[in-house]
Amino acid sequence: MNDAFYLTEDQRLIRDLARTIARERVAPHAARYDDAEEYPEDSIRALIDAGLYGIWVPERYGGTDAGCLALALVCEEIAWACAATATQYLDQPLGGLPILRFGTEAQKTKYLPRLATGELLAAYSLSEPGAGSDAAGLRTTAVRRGDRYVLNGSKQWCTNGDHADVIVVFATIDPKLRAKGVTAFLVERGMPGFAVGKKEKKMGIRASPTVALHFTDCAVPVANRLGEEGEGFTIAMETLDVTRPATGAMAVGIAQAALDAAVAYARERHQFGRAVAAFQGIQFMLADMAMQVHAARLMVHHAARQVDAGIRGNTYEASMAKCWAGDAAMKVATDAIQVFGGYGYTREYPVERFMRDAKIMQIYEGTNQIQRLIIAKELLDD
């Protein structure tokens, strides 16, 4: 894709750096980490060493403040190589942006410089066993007692929860208040009463740990509350408006990897005396796949550029970008397997991993059904 006409020189340099690191130091480990379901230590270290962990952090806190589009560009390149590593990478701004946008100066000074260097790792914990798409239906409670809040309950689907040093945890001061009771807290590793629970065995992104979190009379200082009581739902949703374009970019990366693999294989695989790429049926499949990827990338870049332009009411575009890109990744990855035929169904080639990884793109950070509800609401509300 010729995007040079709207990317700045800095954005192109960041993308090219991410592409080099992803292809030389992340991609070679992807199959091994996926097969073993191990944390991608070498891949994460490569990204940290390259300085890519700080691109979303303002310069005054030790980052490079490159913006949302740059973050999306990096996420696409990493996901092309390994979607699990990209998920881990994006979890840093997912857990850090609430601090940047809603934290006190003391909280920002304490956490952001070390998040920018990768010294600290962050996570974001909103979902619960009974509150997934219904994010306002939290049951984990936070009761204030003096200069502490006491948290009780369980969270689920927390990416990086077992490796994070600080987790933005959403709890409620009163379940009956629904969204108006949700409050955000900065929970640190090792706080008494906080424990990491079951690690999920997943179909895809298997090198990215997804765990349950448990709170049993966990005392969190009032100084660790993020924003005001009842402001947590707003914090959660506004954070997702910023990260959803980057999530969409990960889907684009998976789709591009699947398309690249399918094109290469169609050129080299011969049947009936010629390359399968010579058959119109395959050509039309590849053309449709390319259009899906191209459209997804343009939607993602548009939503990301809105964030960089200071547009905060971009829920409509962010949801469309995430939804379209997630669906495109699944369609393109599935079609890539079809191009490969029986070989695509084996682990000899990476396209089966692309399909497994693509499926989560339709589910996390808000299912694509929820994205459609959001889009419809934006359309129909005056």
Q: CB of 93 within 8 A of CB of 86?
A: no
d(CA 263, CA 277): 8
Non-local (6+) Cβ contacts of 348 within 8 A are none
State the chain's maximal CA–CA distance in angstroms: 79
**What is each CA distance from 148 to 34, 144, 225, in whole angstroms?**
41, 6, 9
Alpha helices in 165-279 (DSSP H): 232-268
Q: Is residue 365 flagged as an active site residue? A: yes
Active-site residue (options: 59, 119, 365, 378): 365
Backbone CA torsion sign across 217, 219, 224, 230:
positive
3-state secondary structure of 55: coil
* H/E segment holding residue 274: strand 274-275
| SS3 annotation, 319-339 | HHHHHHHHHHHHHHHHHHHHH
DSSP 3-state of 147: coil
C-alpha span between 4 and 30 (Å, rounded): 29
CA distances from 225 to 164, 188, 234 (A): 18, 12, 14
Pair 71, 53: CB distance under 8 Å: no
The one-letter amino acid code at 331 reads K
The answer to whether the CB of 49 falls within 8 A of the CB of 101 is: no
What is the C-alpha separation between 138 and 155, in angstroms, rounded? Answer: 9
Q: Active-site positions? A: 365
